[in-house]
């Protein structure tokens, strides 16, 4: 697979491109794990009233403010906004949530179609040099999860715009790939699902072999662990960040649903069975820990993809979606045991998940330089 390496210099986005046929991995870059040190967390301020109709949009903005408040003490928060008016709205919401927008909060004029930055934004890679750590961005194609929600051109342009703003090299790929569809341990092992990565709506002719080759060339993935599918209500065709996540180099948390009558029981049980028989890139068996699912959550008679696995790991903190259920406490307890030394904070996400995503879906980490 050929990846184009483009360097955007300065606000005008002047580009110099060279061909790197083997991709970033051959140039020494690797995809760091989410728990490695961050320079910042990126968000796109929510504004799409079709995603969150009625008064839900206002409530979701307060959820974003809660996310920013929880992150502010740990790392810089960078928020994409379309214009001055959107920035002013964001500042009002942040102030109402007790967030000082002048302390560790940055606003950038990067218009978006929606707020799901995990999927449309860049994936950062790093390479170690003597005395320095170099960073670059991977720019995959984004088509709103198989063309489901037009328009998506502004979302698809975000990696290019962020590369220009950060003055970082950008590797451009023709592959359609969303950040929530892959989860890595920083050492060459990645979790993926067949239902999403092999779906023909992301491009016909996709096979395990072609996807594994692309992940190797672009992200340095030496071992792709294929799970089956995702959860009911997930419009992404089964993103892995709702079903299984690495919490360290060898430990995976896997969502389970014990109720056999629930439509999530069978696919999650299949994923758990697969994980228990898998080994990482070093040949070691995975340590698998189960994570409960919240009770069924619906809106307008449609099931929502609520999952505790959609957490986000930042510097010294883990943000975990909660849904006002008894299972919230059990999920938080599991993650606190697995993440010693990290502040595990529950963020109420009932309004956020109405838009069919949660905390991991709206965040993207920028690794430390």
**Rounded to two decimals, what is the model's pTM?**
0.94
For the chain, the distance separating the N- and C-terminal CA atoms, rounded to the nearest angstrom, is 28
**Environment class of 162 (CB within 10 Å of its CB; exposed 0-12, middle 13-18, buried 19+):** buried
Q: Answer whether residue 1 is part of any domain.
A: no
Query: Could you give the residue numbers annotated as active site?
Result: 361
Its sign, for the CA torsion 156, 160, 163, 168, is: positive
Asked if pLDDT for residue 196 goes beyond 90, the answer is: yes
Q: What is the pLDDT of residues 73-102, one digit of tens each?
A: 999 999 999 999 999 999 999 999 999 999
Q: 235 φ, ψ to 5°? A: -80, 0
**What whole-number distance in Å separates Cα of residue 121 and Cα of residue 113?**
12
Identify the helix (H) or strand (E) that includes residue 292.
strand 287-292
Q: How many CB atoms lie within 10 A of CB 89?
A: 16
**Average of per-residue pLDDT values in the chain:** 94
- At residue 124, the 3 state secondary structure works out as strand
Q: What is the pLDDT of residues 299-324, one digit of tens each?
A: 999 999 999 999 999 999 999 999 99
Asked if pLDDT for residue 16 goes beyond 80, the answer is: no
How many CA atoms does the CB half-sphere of 225 hold within 13 Å?
29
31: DSSP letter = -
Q: Answer whether residue 243 is part of any domain.
A: yes
Q: What is the pLDDT of residues 221-233, one digit of tens each?
A: 999 999 999 999 9
Q: Answer whether residue 66 is part of any domain.
A: yes
**What whole-number distance in Å separates Cα of residue 215 and Cα of residue 198?**
13
CA dihedral 176, 359, 299, 113 (to 10 degrees): -50
Return the pLDDT at 162. Answer: 98
Tokens of 330: 């059990």
In the structure, what pLDDT confidence band is assigned to residue 51 with cuts at 50, 70 and 90? very high
Q: Answer whether residue 7 is part of any domain.
A: no
Split into its structural domains, the chain has a count of: 1
Q: Provide the domain limits for residue 81.
A: 20-367
Q: Answer whether residue 219 is part of any domain.
A: yes
Q: Answer whether residue 172 is part of any domain.
A: yes
Q: Answer whether residue 10 is part of any domain.
A: no
Q: Answer whether residue 158 is part of any domain.
A: yes
Tokens of 70: 């929880």
Q: Which residues, in sequence order, are bridge partners of residue 37?
A: none
CATH code, domain carrying 327? 3.75.10.10
Alpha carbon 327 to its chain centroid, in Å, reads: 23
């Amino acid at each position: 697979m050929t990846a184009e390496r483009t360097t955007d210099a300065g606000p005008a986005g002047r580009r110099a491109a060279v061909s790197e046929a083997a991709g970033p991995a051959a140039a020494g870059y690797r995809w760091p794990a989410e728990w490695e040190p961050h320079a910042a967390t990126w968000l796109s301020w929510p504004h799409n009233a079709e995603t969150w109709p009625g008064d839900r949009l206002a409530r979701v903005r307060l959820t974003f403010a809660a996310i920013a408040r929880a992150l502010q003490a740990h790392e810089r928060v960078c928020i994409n906004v379309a214009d001055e008016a959107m920035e002013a709205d964001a500042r009002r919401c942040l102030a109402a949530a007790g967030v000082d927008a002048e302390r560790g909060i940055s606003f950038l004029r990067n218009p978006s179609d929606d707020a799901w930055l995990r999927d449309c934004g860049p994936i950062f890679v790093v390479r170690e040099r003597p005395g320095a750590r170099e960073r670059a961005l991977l720019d995959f194609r984004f088509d709103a999860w198989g063309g489901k929600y037009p328009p998506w051109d502004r979302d698809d342009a975000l990696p290019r715009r962020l590369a220009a703003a950060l003055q970082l090299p950008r590797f451009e790929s023709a592959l359609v790939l969303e950040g929530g569809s892959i989860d890595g341990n920083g050492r060459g092992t990645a979790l993926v699902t067949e239902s999403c990565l092999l779906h023909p709506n992301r491009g016909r002719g996709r096979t395990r072999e072609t996807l594994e080759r692309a992940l190797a060339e672009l992200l340095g993935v030496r071992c792709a662990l294929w799970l089956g599918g995702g959860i009911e209500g997930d419009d992404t065709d089964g993103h892995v960040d709702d079903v299984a996540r690495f919490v360290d180099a060898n430990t995976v948390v896997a969502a389970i649903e014990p109720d056999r009558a629930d439509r999530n029981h069978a696919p999650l049980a299949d994923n758990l069975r697969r994980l228990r028989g898998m080994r990482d890139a070093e040949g070691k068996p995975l340590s698998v820990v189960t994570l409960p699912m919240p009770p069924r959550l619906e809106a307008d008679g449609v099931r929502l993809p609520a999952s505790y696995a959609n957490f986000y790991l930042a510097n010294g903190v883990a943000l975990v979606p909660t849904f006002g259920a008894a299972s919230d406490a059990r999920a938080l307890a599991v993650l606190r045991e697995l993440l010693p030394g990290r502040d595990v904070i529950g963020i109420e996400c009932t309004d956020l998940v109405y838009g069919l995503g949660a905390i991991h879906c709206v965040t993207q980490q920028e690794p430390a330089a």
